[in-house]
Chain A
């Protein structure tokens, strides 16, 4: 008589839902319910952490950007020399990129997602760094995150987990209004009404769930109880949003900036946007911001001596004064970065500076705009409380995944992950 084939009985008892989610390879981020204390009053969070990610989509000339020497004693490159006053506030990286992210200009889609091959048929993007963080800490501020673009609207660095691009706000004035302009009473009331309707819906759903539970066996009752609890949790969050609505927006003394929508006004546009970015962080209106600097290809940049379109200049390496013109543009952009860093540093917060609490990533999806190369991306990380002042050089022939830096950044935000997209670990050499 043959032995009965063994029946596979699950040897695990009732497991927490997290186990199955992890076991299934699903990384659902279920925000902590304990952190339900309203974050309205400033200083209620122990140490708020922020992140700003900026991508300039036409890159920077590698021989002008990358420094010589590594570690703490590296020699500032011509471009980094513009930031010399902040030398100890930033780290410059070389030899990093996103593996398998090609597609030249299309790679800007993947700057914060690192999804491979953006130009292949059937490409589906994945969640971006800022949106992943927003799932976890977004609820702590009025705006879970801000998605911005310096250039034509409707493009951005931010993508949801379903591969949908979040349209970017390109008007600094509109952004300013959203942050600081108190809506009309009618508008606020309408929003509160919507939230209240949501809450009463949840109330009714909770009641119905309770009434259904009565006729069920113990196991089924427990299952439905989970739904009941979830509904109640969600209702609490709606209440929290409602409270935000009644909360007055922070007041700032500056006026709304101008938008500078003329095609060649890249630099004033960048400056205006960066200023609102700083105000947003200062007022804790949000803690996660993505900024895509993307002009499209035809516009020139209105700077002295610049006569040709920006994109054309990137491909004209040796011709005439093209290099000089391109350098003028890229240096002007970096000067705006310097202004932003200086601005963040000047804001004090609980004994530290806003810069200490804010990770500012500045880089590009192109390592070499002339050849459309997407390896060896020029990358700077400023602030965030790290020990800066060094050049972390990785292998230019065998790049380290840029997502390793992203994992470090997520951990700095207090998010417990050890992997993001194409990461292979955290970025070695970067310490707090």
Chain B
């Protein structure tokens, strides 16, 4: 500890602040900062004596920005040290701020706020989907995952280029072009395949194991006798089923089963239909269903959709989906609870199934398609215009491939009983060996068929140029140089390739060029084309559509009223769901929702359907906020929620009717409301077993309030929550309160976290924690089986904010949070600016944000109004 005057002496010699720094800065720093932040002590690795003042250097700018921010927040000088006088503080901050603003403005004048960037993979996929008129084109997953900056994947620094990226772009283009061009001269035949439940081998195995039931007209088949096979005694199972034969299978397991026979042989739109009815199984009896059920259909690529099945009366439900050739359908009874029944549920001796639960009586599942409204398809015409198709003569390869494709066709085949001939006991008469009811063989792969058509074009080069120009006009933000594409076309034609090959080469060149992949903007006011691009990437996460482009080409888009109208149009456009999804995936971190899975023993009621529903809830809620221009308050509180049955059950909220998400009014005393009490958010901020007040508190501060806390000191280990139920996580965090160095940050972080402790890892409300042991047994049952968790210690959610305001639960914490409405609004506005422009709100921008905020105040900081404000502001309209 040196004497002050000595310190001053050394300072005046070594402080490097040059003449650029305001005089007030130097004396302030000397007086309040350099004692700790000098060459010897270097608290926090900051040596102010060595720090120059040259804000034109980006690194230097960032250092001084950090100095400003920490002093402004009151974090520096630290609480232990003498506080500067108010006037002195303002002088320093004001001086520094105005210099930072000045430097930032100058930088923006030269370079703009944003940097050149490439499309991110979602934008890329959406752009190709729109350009090629292929609504379900899947290329996103061919590309590597994008990075993140400022919380989104929209800023240049997050979107790098590497040879991996380049290679994958080439692959993605090939996938897209192949999907777009007509696969064959003739339209593929529209076929219907119906697979009866008794033809689904996996269901038959379930029946044999007494996990599924044969039904006739909704009741247990009275004439059915089954003997399950016995491997040990080498006894084949058999079924004796005189008329009436069963017409449906009651299945009660939430388990994904692939259906042999339902494979798309050709790409295209397909109808998938399910005929079923909801029922209930109760320890040996089939009972009428009491609720609608949900059947989900999947391919390997993911969920296709969920159909709602009414109770008791068989109904046919259908969905229209795009399937790629070779994709096979799986189904699951999404609303059933069980993944699989363990042995306890079934008695092997008596054949009785000792469980109760809801499920469906499944009659059949059918696939019809592909459905093509025109041939060649619209995507083909995008590429080749109206060039006439003519058939190529058959080659050996084509004939072989065609035959193979036919062989891949689902077709019933006779049973093979040869291996049962050596059984010990023969089968009883009139029975059949159900193990071999493999009506449909496992589907083979769909072979690649060589192209059987060519395109006749009188002037190929001229036509190529026309088509490429038309495509480039739509695809490339600032137009394109067609020379490389035309060179590729010419080269292919010279080598003897036909028009199709030539055009494909041309499109490859175009789609791999920086004209398509990168977004170039000129410094200053954006030209109309760039503005159109920004607007569409903001509100529909894709390139501009025809209407926007036309306005841009006529140079009319930049007119304020036109811009407003187009903003309105796009917010209302059905494609705006892409904006909701992409924005929320990053802002609320919903993209991480599948990173962990709730533990099966502790949270048996979690299901895939619940997971899918909770994500839909948040997206629909945001859409509703946009639709009604609801304000930032609604981030934290609301009098309604967007729910379906599974979510309503989880929340204990009445009023939901089916599996579709719909608005539901919340009771006055409900704990729910706003984003912060939605299951998706609560799941993303927890892991599969435990919740942490620190994680959730940090999430609230960072994503909702916009005041992220500093990271923890490096040597502090994470706490290991006690699953045995002896200590609560709150007790484990008492050190935060006891140690002063921890308390400084944790009195900000922990209280919101405690308020959230009443929500478990999937967003359900709890008054007491669940534990593996050391508690009271849980009430209720899992379909007639005992629950495997116990109820342990009570949750203590009461705490107080850093300002000393006390709260008991989330409900009153929410009221306190609403006092910060302006901060919540400002943060949301800032997130939208980052998403819309790809650059953070810098020093030169914050005054513009202030102006927007003051105008938005009268509209209750409505989200729709925010979007309009952003679009009209220079933050959006300039580079």
Residues of chain A touching chain B, judged by Cβ–Cβ distance below 8 Å, are 3-15, 17, 20-21, 23-24, 26, 28, 30-31, 33, 100, 116-117, 119-124, 154, 162-165, 167, 197-198, 200-202, 204-205, 207-209, 211-212, 216-220, 223-224, 226-227, 229-231, 233-234, 236-237, 298, 300, 307-309, 312, 315-320, 322
Contacts and interface: CB of A to CB of B under 8 A. Distances in A.
Contact of A197 (B256, B296, B505): B505
B162 interface: yes
B231 A316 contact: yes
Contacts of A24: 145, 147-148, 158
A173 B219 CA distance: 55
Contacts of B147: 17, 20-21, 23-24, 26
A235 B198 CA distance: 55
B509 A4 contact: no
B811 to A, nearest CB: 26
Nearest to A7: B846
Interface in B422-463: 422, 444-445
Interface in B47-73: 58-59, 62-63, 65-66, 69-70, 72-73
Given A3-B74, A219-B115, A233-B163, A122 B59 contact: no
B654 interface: no
A312 B237 CA distance: 13
Given A13-B58, A218-B111, A230-B163, A208 B597 contact: no
A165 to B, nearest CB: 8
A3 B84 CA distance: 14
Interface in B198-257: 231-234, 254-256
Report which residue of A8, A28, A300, A308 has the largest number of chain B beta carbons within 10 angstroms of its beta carbon: A8
Nearest to B330: A121
Contacts of B332: 121
Interface string B494-527: 0000000000010011001111011010010000
A226 B612 CA distance: 39
A307 B419 CA distance: 9
Nearest to B75: A6
Contacts of B706: 5, 8
Nearest to B138: A162
A209 B148 contact: no
Given A3-B72, A7-B846, A17-B162, 14 more contacts: A8-B706, A23-B148, A24-B158, A116-B597, A119-B340, A121-B303, A121-B609, A122-B611, A205-B509, A205-B514, A218-B111, A227-B514, A231-B166, A237-B167
Contact of A315 (B167, B232, B513, B608): B232
Contacts of B158: 20, 24
Contacts of B712: none
A314 to B, nearest CB: 8
B473 interface: no
B484 A205 contact: yes
Interface residues of B, number: 94
A307 B340 CA distance: 32
Contacts of A122: 256, 296, 298, 302-303, 608, 611-612
A205 B164 contact: no
A120 B339 contact: yes
A236 B163 CA distance: 10
B481 A17 contact: no
A312 B157 CA distance: 58
A282 B298 CA distance: 43
> 8 closest A-B pairs (Cβ-Cβ)?
A204-B484, A315-B231, A233-B163, A17-B160, A121-B332, A162-B141, A220-B116, A20-B147
Interface of B: 58-59, 62-63, 65-66, 69-70, 72-74, 110-112, 115-118, 141-142, 144-150, 156-158, 160-167, 170, 231-234, 254-256, 296, 298, 300-303, 330, 332, 334, 339-340, 416, 419, 422, 444-445, 481, 483-484, 487-488, 491, 505, 508-509, 512-515, 517-518, 520, 523, 597, 608-609, 611-612, 706-708, 823, 826, 840-843, 846
10 contacts: A12-B62, A13-B59, A26-B144, A121-B332, A212-B515, A217-B110, A219-B111, A223-B116, A316-B231, A319-B234
Contact of A316 (B232, B340, B445): B232
A9 B518 contact: no
Nearest to A212: B514
B162 A4 contact: no
B302 to A, nearest CB: 7
A278 B170 CA distance: 34
B157 A20 contact: yes
Report which residue of A28, A154, A308 has the largest number of chain B beta carbons within 10 angstroms of its beta carbon: A28
A217 B112 contact: yes
Contacts of A309: 419
Chain A contact residues: helix, strand, loop or mixed: loop
Contacts of A211: 481
B116 A20 contact: no
A379 B166 CA distance: 39
B300 A164 contact: yes
B164 A30 contact: yes
A197 B494 CA distance: 13
Contact of A320 (B112, B234, B339, B518): B234
Contacts of A216: 116, 520
Contacts of A205: 484, 509, 512-514
Contacts of A316: 231-232, 234
Given A6-B69, A8-B708, A10-B62, A220 B115 contact: yes
A6 B487 contact: no
Contacts of B843: 7, 9
B65 A317 contact: no
A234 B256 contact: no
B518 A227 contact: yes
Nearest to A297: B435
Contacts of A10: 62, 149-150, 840
A6 B72 contact: yes
A30 B509 contact: no
Nearest to A197: B505
A20 B232 contact: no
A6 B707 contact: yes
A108 B512 CA distance: 38
A204 B513 CA distance: 8
A42 B141 CA distance: 36
A9 B69 contact: yes
B703 to A, nearest CB: 12
A20 B149 contact: yes
A209 B513 CA distance: 8
A33 B708 CA distance: 38
B488 A229 contact: no
Contacts of B826: 5
A237 B74 contact: no
A20 B152 CA distance: 11
Contact of A28 (B62, B144, B231): B144
Contacts of A165: 300
B483 to A, nearest CB: 8
B148 A6 contact: no
A119 B256 contact: yes
A121 B74 contact: no
A116 B166 CA distance: 32
Given A7-B846, A163-B300, A317-B232, A212 B62 contact: no
Contacts of A15: 157
Contacts of A30: 162, 164
Contacts of B166: 202, 227, 230-231, 233-234
Report which residue of B445, B512, B514 has the largest number of chain A beta carbons within 10 angstroms of its beta carbon: B514
Contacts of B254: 121
B148 A20 contact: yes
Report which residue of B62, B334, B841, B842 has the largest number of chain A beta carbons within 10 angstroms of its beta carbon: B62
B208 to A, nearest CB: 13
Contacts of B419: 298, 300, 308-309
Nearest to B515: A208
Contacts of A198: 170
Contact of A5 (B62, B301, B302, B823): B823
